[in-house]
Amino acid sequence: MQTSSKSTNRLCRLFQLEYPIIQAGMAGGTTTPALVAAVSEAGGLGTLGAGYMSPEAIRQAIRDIRELTARPFAVNLFILQEPERAPGEAQQRAQADSAWHLLAPLRERLNVREDGPPAVWSESYRDQLAVLLDERVPVFSSTFDAPGTDTLAECTRLGIRTIGTATTVREALLLQQAGVDAIVAQGAEAGGHRGTFPGEGEPPLIGTMALVPQIADSVQVPVIASGGIMDGRGIAAALALGAEGVQFGTAFLTCTESGAHPAHKAAVLGSSDESTMLSRAVSGKYARGIRSRLLEELEPLAGQLPGYPAQNALTQEIRRAAAKAGNPDYMAMWAGQASPLALKTTAAELIARLIGEADQVLSRLQRFT
């Protein structure tokens, strides 16, 4: 598993890494500059999950990361069309209003005072991206859609490497065609939001074991396996399936340097194989998290709720109030299906352990018969 700048591993060469281990961008405060820098310092690729951050906050976080490490790191964004940012049309506004009324019992339970739905639903992807280009971040990683070909050409011109996220072979081919340098194959086990592109209907939910070899057979760029991978066994399996690297989310969420809420970390550490569920009711986009009252109470309303990012904005104050009160019942605690394998450790210790385990498993698995 040990690699170096002379490595034959394409991801290590592409991103100048010691190990093809990527810490997922996890929007919502988990990926502190300390976590990102610790992962990069340990030879992996740390990623700032900047999807919910303002352009100013992103710029500051990039500078904070650069204070802590000179190694490459990534910044991850949600690719959204500008008109999705705010309720532009009367129909959208009416849908958001009625969904907002449906959420009244939850707001009451958590003492949330809100006069009406928020006027803006999300940060501007275009403005966020402008900061990444201006700061010339080493790697731009993205999810929810393919970056535009102009954006990718500009990244190439500036020396910025790129990673896209696919949940199907079709999405992987679109990403390759657009010109990304590497593709995350996100299996259905994954914690957090599905990267499924808009307009695809119900997500196909292809598991990591089935998805990785199919994407690896279909594209020429390096594939990064993601979803339910927590240890060296998972790394060995991903490599066997044709991936050249692994992106871990949940495994880094419980690290000391992670900014995840203590109740979120505790829920992951205390979880079982049956603890997670997929829901589109919290944010309007399918995401996997620890079963909680929030997910279970919202689920029956799913058909009456708007899509992402409107629904995400409508539940934001509820989730915020729950987090402030330390009440995990109404927090969105995104986590993958292998969450019981998470450890309470530092990022550097986790990476050392992953490498050691992967080497052990790989040398044990010499042959099948």
Ligand X SMILES: Cc1cc2nc3c(=O)[nH]c(=O)nc-3n(C[C@H](O)[C@H](O)[C@H](O)COP(=O)(O)O)c2cc1C
Which residues here bind ligand X, judged by CB under 6 A? 24-27, 30, 49, 51, 76, 143, 165, 186, 189-193, 226-229, 247-251, 253, 334-336, 338
Is 30 or 315 the residue whose CB approaches ligand X more closely?
A: 30
Q: How far is the CB of 234 from ligand X (least distance, A)?
A: 9
Find the helix packing angle between 55-68 and 33-41, rounded to 10°.
40
| 353 C-beta neighbours (distance < 10 Å), count | 15
**In the bound complex, which residue of the shown chain has the CB atom lying closest to ligand X?**
249
Distance, CA of 115 to CA of 18 (rounded, Å):
51
Is 77 or 321 the residue whose CB approaches ligand X more closely?
A: 77
DSSP letter for 197, please: P
Q: How far is the CB of 66 from ligand X (least distance, A)?
A: 21
Is 196 or 250 the residue whose CB approaches ligand X more closely?
A: 250
Residue whose entry in the numeric block shows the structure tokens 């299906």: 337
Q: How far is the CB of 343 from ligand X (least distance, A)?
A: 13
Q: How far is the CB of 26 from ligand X (least distance, A)?
A: 3
Residues facing residue 163 across a β-bridge? 141, 182
Q: How far is the CB of 132 from ligand X (least distance, A)?
A: 14
Is 40 or 186 the residue whose CB approaches ligand X more closely?
A: 186
Is 33 or 192 the residue whose CB approaches ligand X more closely?
A: 192
Return the structure tokens found at 264. Answer: 């979120």
- Cis amide bond preceding 328, omega within 30: no
Distance, CA of 5 to CA of 71 (rounded, Å):
13
Element (H, E) at 182: strand 182-186
Residue ranges of alpha helices (H) inside 179-261 are 208-218, 232-240, 250-253
Q: How far is the CB of 1 from ligand X (least distance, A)?
A: 18
Is 100 or 285 the residue whose CB approaches ligand X more closely?
A: 285
On whether the CB atoms of residues 50 and 273 are closer than 8 A, the answer is no
Residue 273 DSSP SS3: coil
Is 95 or 312 the residue whose CB approaches ligand X more closely?
A: 312
> For the chain, how long is the longest CA-to-CA vector?
67
Residue 140 DSSP SS3: strand
Q: How far is the CB of 230 from ligand X (least distance, A)?
A: 7
